[in-house]
Amino acid sequence: MPTAPTPAPASASAYQSAAAEAVEAATRTLFLRTTTQIDELMKHSCSATQQRWDFLGPALSLSLSPASASAIDSSFFAQIDRTLQWSEFCASEIGTCIRDTHFALELTEDQAEILCAANVRFSLVDRETMHAYVPFAHSASDAALIYFVDLVGEGGRWLYFGTLAVSGAFPAGTHCTVDEAYAAFAREAEAEAEAGEDTNASDDGYWDNFLELDAPEAAAHDEAAPVSAPAPAPAPAPAPAPAALPYLLASSAQCARDAGVSETEFLALAQAAFRRGKVTIAEAL
């Protein structure tokens, strides 16, 4: 039986104004990265990104103005950019774009044209993990590349997860609304459940090709069981019915002739066997 569609969790109601809230969170993220306020950025980042920064980030914690930040060695910023993005693809280019664009908490008209609620896309990664992707710029070297802020929902808030570059369109598997993302996730889960049932129902005797091994419990029981006494000898076969005797005698006579036994020897053997049981020809004569 197919599983019922997965309902949205209770926290989904917190994302009904998701697009506008995602734009606000992305704008704050871009401002904090522009001004290299990493400590403050971590307060608005998800737990996974905070842990990534703790393990991979530079030893020096920065909170600098753009003017003083420009004096920092470029390799230092490259390390920051790689740490604040889960994929290394275009990490330095995105970091440079953010710093050169000088994002503020109030967007310019040009910035707001791309960084707006209509362009936000959503994706439910698993039952409880919703991502929002907010585009904010095109690549200066490749117009087909679009840069996104990747946010994740935690505790009813949009928190910074990372940035990414996508060629020509929105990230694959994303949707215009939170409800659409939940509905798509439910359809995929239902399809996977049906596919799993079909696979189990049509194994075409695959497992019949394998030997059945004794269960470990049964083997252990057999080893621990006491050795039983030998089985009694089978009871002797019943004597043939009188009606079968002519056929048995004829068969015995034929065997005697085939073995080269004379008539006198055969009769003597038969007489002795009748009287005493099994005997040899020498004993009968």
SS3 264: helix
Q: How many CA atoms lie within 13 A of 167 on its CB side?
A: 4
pLDDT of residue 267: 81
Per the listing, tokens 């008209």 go with 109
Per the listing, tokens 């980042």 go with 45
Structure-block tokens of residue 162:
């990372």
Q: In this model, does residue 184 exceed pLDDT 90?
A: yes
pLDDT of residue 13: 46
Q: What is the DSSP letter of 240?
A: P
Structure-block tokens of residue 145:
């590349």
How far out from the chain centre does Cα 56 lie?
Answer: 28
pLDDT of residue 3: 32
Q: Where is 233: in which H helix or E strand? A: none
pTM score: 0.62
pLDDT classification of 10: cutoffs 50, 70, 90: very low
Alpha-carbon distance 161 to 85, whole Å?
8
- Mean pLDDT of the residues in the chain: 79
pLDDT of residue 276: 65
What is the average pLDDT across 34-47?
95
Q: In this model, does residue 12 exceed pLDDT 60?
A: no
Percent of the chain with pLDDT over 70: 67
User: Which letter, b or e, does each residue of 216-236 get, where b requires 16 or more Cβ atoms within 10 Å of its Cβ?
Assistant: eeeeeeeeeeeeeeeeeeeee
Q: In this model, does residue 15 exceed pLDDT 80?
A: no
pLDDT classification of 259: cutoffs 50, 70, 90: confident
pLDDT of residue 260: 75
Q: What 3 state SS string does 116-146 have?
A: CHHHCEEEEEECCEEEEEEEEEECCCCCCEE
pLDDT in tens, 229-248: 566 666 665 555 555 566 67
**Residue length of the chain:** 285
Alpha-carbon distance 116 to 134, whole Å?
8
pLDDT of residue 261: 73
